[in-house]
Amino acid sequence: MVTVMAATAAERAVLEEEFRWLLHDEVHAVLKQLQDILKEASLRFTLTGSGTEGPAKQENFILGSCGTDQVKGVLTLQGDALSQADVNLKMPRNNQLLHFAFREDKQWKLQQIQDARNHVSQAIYLLTSRDESYQFKTGAEVLKLMDAVMLQLTRARNRLTTPATLTLPEIAASGLTRMFAPALPSDLLVNVYINLNKLCLTVYQLHALQPNSTKNFRPAGGAVLHSPGAMFEWGSQRLEVSHVHKVECVIPWLNDALVYFTVSLQLCQQLKDKISVFSSYWSYRPF
């Protein structure tokens, strides 16, 4: 019995040594790695902070679909806003080519990108306040920090992967419809959003439902992408979606940012697991 106790005492001493190493060395190494990755991620967002002067660099994205070329768009992304949108539409009925562009000096802010950028900044702020000189006293402290960082990163990723679900009246009322010159015809609705790493432009072609139509009118709820047949009421008219065109383009730096988020989340989880292993030892009791 005594030898068993001695063996467990020795084991305990080794475990404590290991835990001390974890708190003093390993944690800081992981935090440094996380900081580096997240700083890379935030650089990708290349936005003008309040310190740096000059506009963010402009990037043009050509949105098209490989199947048809009914809708083609060239969108210019500057930081977190679209500074120009050149949309070409080929109407199926009469093969007429319509062209729309943003009015002079108008910008359309993509809130998803700004939110993701702010969440990453919050995560970096949490990490920089715990640099090399900070001594972690307990494992629980590290777990709490990791939870907070993971929350920000998960939120950042979710903002990019889950665009807002809007109802058709909300899309019609959004300021985007009024940004174009020449003005969009009343039977077209346009929506722009980020989905994962892609910039998506959706164009809805509408036709008015006759008041004496036999169709059962059911207003469609909110969705990221509405399908043909969705109905809604706008002003005094009842409208139905006849065609939906969606074109998209991958934004390379968003792709990089998402990869960085995934890697960072994995690092955080691994550190949490390493600390948690020790928490079960502290209540160990020889039986």
Give the footprint of another protein on this chain (CB under 8 A).
Answer: 49-51, 109, 111, 114-115, 118-119, 121, 125, 129, 137-138, 140-141, 143-145, 148, 151, 155, 280, 283, 285, 287
DSSP per position, 158-178: HHHHSPPPB-HHHHHHSGGGG
CA distance 31 to 149: 11
Cβ–Cβ < 8 Å for 193, 110: yes
Residue 88 Cβ vs another protein, minimum distance, rounded to whole Å: 30
For another protein, the closer of residues 192 and 249 by Cβ is 192
Enumerate the β-bridge partners of residue 206: 241
Shortest Å distance, C-beta 152 to another protein: 10
Which lies closer to another protein via its Cβ, residue 86 or residue 141?
141
CB of 117 to another protein, least distance (A): 9
Q: Would you say 53 or 216 has its CB closer to another protein?
A: 53
Q: Nearer to another protein by C-beta: 57 or 207?
A: 57
The first and second tokens of residue 95, run together, are 């093969």
CB 144 to another protein: min, Å: 5
Separation CA 218–CA 211 (nearest Å):
14
Residue 193: what are its φ and ψ, rounded to 5°?
-155, 170
249 or 257: whose CB is closer to another protein?
257
Instruction: Output the smallest distance, CB 137 to another protein, in A.
Output: 5
* DSSP H or E stretch at residue 139: helix 139-161
Integer Cα distance of 1 and 68 in angstroms: 80
Say how far apart CA 76 and CA 57 lie, in whole Å: 10
**CB of 84 vs another protein, minimal distance in Å:** 19
Nearest distance in Å: CB 118, another protein = 5
Cα angle: 101, vertex 106, 111; to 5 degrees:
105
Residue 184 and residue 100 in contact, taking contact as beta carbons nearer than 8 Å: yes
Distance CA 20, CA 278 (A): 11
Nearer Cβ to another protein (48/68):
48
Please say which residue, 39 or 155, places its beta carbon nearer to another protein: 155
